[in-house]
Chains A and B, each alone.
Chain A
Amino acid sequence: MSQTTTEKSGAAVKAVEPKKKVVLSEGKRAERKLGWLLCAPAAFIMLAVTAWPIIYSVYLSLQRYDLKFPDRQEFVGLDNYVTVLSSPYWWNAVWVTVVMTVVSVVIELVLGMALALIMHRTLVGRGIVRTSTLIPYGIVTVVAAFSWRYAWTPGTGYLAELMGGDPVLTEKIPALAVVILAEVWKTTPFMALLLMAGLALVPDDLLKAAALDGASGWQRFTKVILPLMKPAILVALLFRTLDAFRIFDNLFVLTGGSQGTSSVSMLTYNNLIKGLNLGIGSTMSVLIFIAVAIIAFIFIKLFGTAAPGSDDGGKR
């Protein structure tokens, strides 16, 4: 009930002020004030934990700062950026990240679409299908990663036995394939749910009309469903792309970044926690931030109104 009291006192305080340039009614001002008050805690925490650290990490990235030699901290300008950007490890990590992101998002989109169609149209057992697909979404990534690791480890694993007992996780390409498989398994259901919500917006009448006009199932899918689902697909793609960029849990458990399978997140973590090199770690943080900002910007520029959040005020 504190909300109503602040509303009243807010209005009272404002009412005392001179009323020259007042265009807003008292009720309007009280509404503004209440709006700000209600949003303040959320806005404050979000900015304090993201904006401030990211600015701080720009500062750190310009320092030589190794926690093993804290006395030798000094301003070094862009030296850290030169070090990182000329390092073959960094570029390998960039490629690993890009390849994993592109491959897993493409597979997820195709599988997710199939899964969405199944969940949307199935005649039997809809509840069971939806419930079981939520399990990969909800399960702790580390748990799933351990399951895959043991499945692929010769000796303990059923999958390794099936593949002839080769140690898959100790070679770069097969190990990456396993990481992608684990990512795809975990996140396809989320993709499917987003796409299913888009499917629900496709009017049945339209599909019936298309069927009457003689459109085949495939034509109905490509000519009617897909265009109508474009916004949902783009939202799903955007979120999954940015998310795949942060692949960490699966890699940590499955390969630990060995055999050149480090993603940029993994490399940053290793430099910071294992290497205790704050300067280099921060430099990588800043570079990742810039990369993600560019990707998000391109997506939003390309697809404009399709981005979530641009719809606010639609139905208040």
Chain B
Amino acid sequence: MAGIGGAETTAKKTRWGILNAVVVIYALFPVLWIVSLSFKSKETLADGNFIPRDWTFDNYSNIFATTEFVRALANSIGIALIATAVAVVFGTMAAYAIARLDFPGKSLLVGVSLLIAMFPQVSLVSPLFEIERSLGLFDTWPGLILPYITFALPLAIYTLSAFFREIPWELEKAAKMDGATPGQAFRRVIAPLAAPGVFTTAILVFIFCWNDFLFAISLTSTEKSRTVPVALSFFTGSSQFEDPTGSIAAAAVVITIPIILFVLFFQRRIVAGLTSGAVKG
């Protein structure tokens, strides 16, 4: 990499431009392909062309006409939002304690969350399947929300405690000296400073829950609580004898939209969140 201290010549810029283009194409190719498939009509679906010859919205209107997909979308959104909310609240409490308070057992908690971050999720599938069946949690929203919270918590605790360490907490004391009540000091001074970190964590946790496939396919059995990634893998097309490719592609694009929006609007935060907890050592 010859960029150090040199003049920013046009040649260099062009070279970087080409490298960047390679990266962008690498990242977007599979996404564009599934988008292309979702817009192809039934007749041209199998032509193998990268750009549809014949654009249509049929695939989208078809999937939104099936309860299978609409129900799964509602499940996905509800489960991911609830799990995110709970994980962020509990994670914030724990991370605040880790970053600010001194108490025995703190390093144990950090150690446990690290272990859970590395925990092989598939090891939990068999026992959870049996436990949830006997508790009546199998194939329900809480049955998925609980494992999601569990595996989101280490992520939330790490990211948030890294953020909380950076907050200038003296400001809280200063506000109290100026006559603010503890409540006011928290609302006016600390909350605004902590909000970006909490928000970033919420995005990361949501992406994690939105993405899960293993728990969703093992701990559900009906439309009642199946999430979209699972429903996708069971798609048989809007009528029984139809090739599901178009429907799958359209559904896949629909669940990719929130991810694309997050990435577009919060790129900087996501990068900061992903790297903050990880590289301190």
Contacts and interface: CB of A to CB of B under 8 A. Distances in A.
A78 interface: no
B278 A36 contact: no
B57 interface: no
Interface string A216-241: 01001100000000011001101100
Contacts of A189: 27
5 contacts: A35-B105, A45-B146, A54-B127, A144-B30, A252-B233
Nearest to B122: A265
A309 B111 contact: yes
B124 A194 contact: no
Contacts of B48: 155-158, 160-161
B120 A288 contact: yes
A128 interface: yes
Given A130-B267, A142-B232, A49 B146 contact: yes
Interface stretch (A15-23, A83-91, A169-177, A243-251): A243-251
B191 interface: no
Interface residues of A, number: 120
**Nearest 3 interchain pairs by C-beta:** A35-B103, A197-B275, A53-B127
Contacts of B127: 53-54, 56-57, 60, 282, 285
A196 interface: yes
Interface in A106-121: 115, 117-118, 121
Q: Label chain B's interface by main secondary structure.
A: helix
Interface of B: 1-5, 8, 12-13, 16-17, 19-20, 23-24, 26-28, 30-31, 33-34, 37, 45-46, 48-50, 90-91, 93-94, 96-107, 109-131, 146-147, 149-150, 153-154, 157-158, 165, 182-183, 186, 207, 210-211, 213-214, 217-218, 228-229, 232-233, 245, 248-249, 252-253, 255-256, 259-260, 262-264, 267, 270-271, 274-281
A136 interface: yes
A123 B228 CA distance: 40
Nearest to A117: B1
B150 A45 contact: yes
Contact of B259 (A139, A157, A252, A306): A139
Contacts of B267: 127, 130-131, 134
B259 A281 contact: no
Contacts of B5: 208, 211
